[in-house]
Amino acid sequence: MTQTQTRPAAPDGDAAGALDCGALSGFQAAFGGQRSYRLAQNAVMRNNVDDIAVNHRVVFTTDHTFSISLDDWGVTDQKQTGRCWMFAGLNLLRFSARQVLGVKEFEFSQNYLMFWDKVERANYFFEAIIESADSDVDNRTVAFLLDQPLSDGGQWNMFVNLVRKHGLVPKAFMPETNSSSSSRRMNGVLRTKLREGARQIREAHARGAGLAALRDVKQDYLETVYRILSIHLGTPPDQFEWQWRDTKSEFHRTETITPREFAARFVELPLDDYVCLVHDPRPSNPYDRTYTVQYLGNVVGGQRVTYLNVSMPLMKDIARRTLEAGEPIWFGCDVGKQMRRDMGLMDNELYDLASVYDTTFDMDKAARLEYGETRMTHAMLFTGVDVVDGATRRWRVENSWGAEPGQKGFFTMNGAWFDEYMFEIAARREYLPADLQSALDLEPIVLPPWDPMGALAR
C-alpha cells in the first residue's frame, strides 16, 4: 500500500516575527522583579481598575457650582437604548415648550420619534442598497451598509428631519414600551428583515429589474417594518387633544391637533437656524470647511447631515455665548473616556492609568481619530457653564441616564475634557463669524461611510 506523503502546512506569516520564548521569559522576569508591578497586580485582580486609578484630588476638588445654570427640571432616561441624540434634542425642545406651556416638568414622547426614525431609516437603507446595486456584495461600502442597516443612534440633522416631517406629541400619547426602553431584540428582528430585503433588491437588479420594480420590493418590506414597529412600539397618533394646568393653576386645552401642528405651536426654537459645528483636528480635514458622511442620514429628501469644522477656541466661545444668552446646547462627545458615571465627573485627569501600568498614553486627538481610539459615542445637553474673567473652566451637563448617576443625573465637565473629547455642537448660525457663515454654503467634502465623524449614528 502506497503511503501518501503530506506536505507541512505553510507558516502563517514571517517566522522571524514570531514571539521568542526567551523574550517571553524576559517579560516575566521584568514584571516579577518590580515591587510596584506586583502591588498593582494585587490591587487590580481584586478591584475594578478604575477604582484603583481614580485621581482623588480631582474628585475632592471638583466644584459642582456654576456662574450660569439654566436647569430647574429633572432628567430623562433613555434606558437600554442608543437614543441619546434624540433625548438630547427633545430635552432642548422641551426647554422651549416648558416656557410656552407655562409648566415646570414636561416631556415629549421619545417613543414617537423612535418609531418614525426606524421607518425612515429603513427606507433610507433600501434606497442606499438600490443606489449601490451595481457594486459587488463584498464591496467595502456595501458591506458596511449590510453590517449596520439600522441602529438607535443618530445626528442633529436627523433629529431635525424627524421633527419637521412627523412633528411631536406629549409623552402621554405614546409612552415608553418594553422595546422602546430596551431595543436590542426589536432591532435584531428589523436588521434581519432589512438584510433579507437588500438581498431581494440586489437579486432583482441582477435579473434586470428597473428602478420602479426595485422600489416595489422596497415597499413590501417597508410595510413589514411598519408592522413590526407597531407591534413593538405601538401605533403613533395622527391627532389628539392636549390639556394641562400651568404653574399658576390655570387650565388649558387645545383643539384636535396634529403632531406637526403641536410642534409648530409649542416649540419656538428656530430649528432651521441651527448648524452643526465639529472639531476634527485630523490634518486631512482642514478647518473652515464643510463635511458630510456618505450614507449618513434617515429621511430621504430631508436635511443632509453637514458639519462645519471649526477650531476648539471658537467652539468653546460659541457654546459659552449660547448659554449666556439663556439657551442650552446639544452636543456630541466621546463619553467613555475619563468619565465616572456614579460621580458625574468628566475630567481629563480623572484616571491615572499611566501610574497603574507604568506606561504613557501619548496619542493626541487627531491621532486617536485616525487610529480608531476615539469617536463620537454620546449626545447630551449643556445647561450651565462656569466663567471666570471671561474664560470657561467647567460645564454643567444634562445627561439622559436617569437621576441616579452624578448630581441627580447632571454631570460636571472640565475644560481640558472638553478640548480632548468634545466633537460637536448644534449652534445658531448667527454666532459664527461672517466668513464661516459663508463657508456653510460650500458643497461639503464627502467622507466615507465608516468615518468616525459618523459614529454617533451607529
**Could you list the active site residues?**
84, 378, 399
CA–CA separation, 426 vs 248, rounded Å?
33
What would the grid cell of residue 42 be? 494585587
The answer to whether 385 and 394 are in contact (CB under 8 A) is: yes
What would the grid cell of residue 435 be? 466668513
CA–CA separation, 381 vs 368, rounded Å?
24
Residue recorded with cell 430596551 = 182
The amino acid at residue 14 is D
Residue recorded with cell 444634562 = 398
Three-class secondary structure of residue 382 per DSSP: strand
Pairing of strands 290-293, 307-309: antiparallel
Sign for the CA dihedral angle at 150, 152, 155, 157 comes to: positive
The answer to whether 166 and 98 are in contact (CB under 8 A) is: no
The amino acid at residue 230 is S
CA–CA separation, 337 vs 374, rounded Å?
9
The answer to whether 291 and 454 are in contact (CB under 8 A) is: no
Three-class secondary structure of residue 276 per DSSP: strand
Count CB neighbours of 80 within 10 A.
9
CA–CA separation, 18 vs 208, rounded Å?
51
Phi/psi region, residue 376 (left: phi>0; alpha: psi -120 to 50; beta: rest), is beta
Which positions ≥6 away from 105 have C-beta within 8 Å? 73, 74, 98
